[in-house]
Structure 1
Amino acid sequence: MNDSDVKLPNFLIVGIQKAGTTSVYNYLKQHPQVYLSPLKETNFLEKDWPQLIEQGHQFNPKKIATFEQYKNLFEGVTNEIAIGEISPNYLFHYKTSTELIKRYVPHAKLIAILRNPVERAISDYLMHVREAQSNRSLKEQIQYRADKSFVITKGKYYQPVKYYFEQFSQEQVSIFLYDDLRKDSQKFIQDIYKTIGVNPDFEPDTSRKSQVAQVPKNKAVNNLLVRKNPIRSLSASLLKPLLSEKKRQQVRSFLIGMNSKSKEEIDSFDEEKQLLLNLYRDDILKLQDLIDRDLSPWLTI
């Protein structure tokens, strides 16, 4: 296939994590005029991976680290009108991502979905707890690592959005709010259909939530089930002759589920919410003027 025959994205959903991008990915995939990368988060346009490889950096072999690998994700395009991918870290890594977007897909429509940053931070923190990746409490991160914690800094949207507007113009960049997705998922996704130029009257099945937020009842048990450790390795070796890999994963998922509770069952993070709001208030007010949307609900706890 010649480079001139290669179909590349004409739209990207660039952000942000914990703002419904998995659900949006599934709703977009249902539309017959949309082709989405089979890999939800390619992250190829996040950093200059080819340059990092030249410098000797090593990456997971499954990583999309070269332009050839990126192009291969879109080999299945036939007659779809909208071709895209969803990598919610593109907004966060805005300085490198904008340069790479201009290099590879300069005319792509760019869409950011933003969520109340206080809610987003708590959701992100709970995900890290669930995946046994967090050693500090959320309160500690707010008080001592507010400028270094990705959980917190990813909620500062004003500068990244402003930078995208400066690099691409406001006509090329569209801002959507997670609040609207929660309010009316059909209308929300149909507005995105309209933005990317496909039939907006198509009605996808939006009845099923892609991710149900849960957190561990017991962190020690969760760490045993999630992290690599001798007990987990021994259990896997004992079960291997008896169960297929798929069955072993189902057992593990069942045990994780048994040790989980929904977010609604845990404390409400009242103190953390107020601390986060204090951190985000100025950023929210500047963003509100920038995108010309009423964000006053984000300013109350």
Structure 2
Amino acid sequence: MDIKQLYYFCTIVEEGQITKAAARLHMAQPPLSQQLKQLENELDVVLFERQGRKLLLTDSGKSLYENAQKILADLEDIKTKVKEMNEGIRGKLSIGVSKTCFSYLPERIQYFRAEYPEVLFHIIEGDTAYISDLLVNRIIEVAITRFPIEQENIEMKVFKSEPYILIIPKTWKHLISNKTKIALKEIKQLPLMLLHRIHGAGQFEIITNAFKEQQLKPNIILECPDVSILFLLVNSEIGATIVPKGAIKNQSYDNIHIIEIEDANIYSESGVIWLKDRHLSKCTQLFIDSFV
């Protein structure tokens, strides 16, 4: 078994077919099939089961894929580390970011563009659960996201906490008597649309627990992991939402009104996160260090 065979194997897994994998690898199909067969013979296992034209991993195949990904990721880390010994700060910086944390990005990118113009940014958006999975699977190197985070092998630099705010359509201001601050018992009457992660606990639980503490039941009409969708729906007068204050920064909507929540001691924490056991490239470390 060698690195090339592992790379071929992972490509077949990702493409689901020998034909597609061969095209991606710019090689003929028969030699790729032969490499796969050699790998199976050496390990004395069956790595794939055929289902029509698709290849499905066996349990042995899943185990090999999981470990092969780690080996290939470690190899890329080694290459990066060696290259950086003689090169300046360059390469691609893969960053994950939650939409509620977008406001932290522009200043950092502007700084890097000025100081390290040869760095290429690769930005992937998603909720905290999705971003954490990308980090663990080494698809990204660093992320800016909301807490809490379920994974244990993650290090973090925490930003200053921020309060939650209520966002309603401007045309609804009369429903709350044009107040600048509002209590939860008044909010519970409004049709609420809340952020909810794809999996795991997060903003949704923080907000609903605040209502429970006051023995209130909010009128939740919609759950969604994408804050931009919530803003669009508020702007369209579908309902109201509760989000961290920083989530609305740099957003522009004609029909949105912001109100402080006066009787709920709920705050959102966010920060920059990275894997504990992964070598950090120079540009990744500098990106993390830029958050004072």
| TM-score, normalised via structure 1 length | 0.25
- Higher helix proportion (structure 1 or 2): 1
| TM-score, normalised via structure 2 length | 0.26
> Which protein is bigger by CA-based radius of gyration?
2
- Higher strand proportion (structure 1 or 2): 2
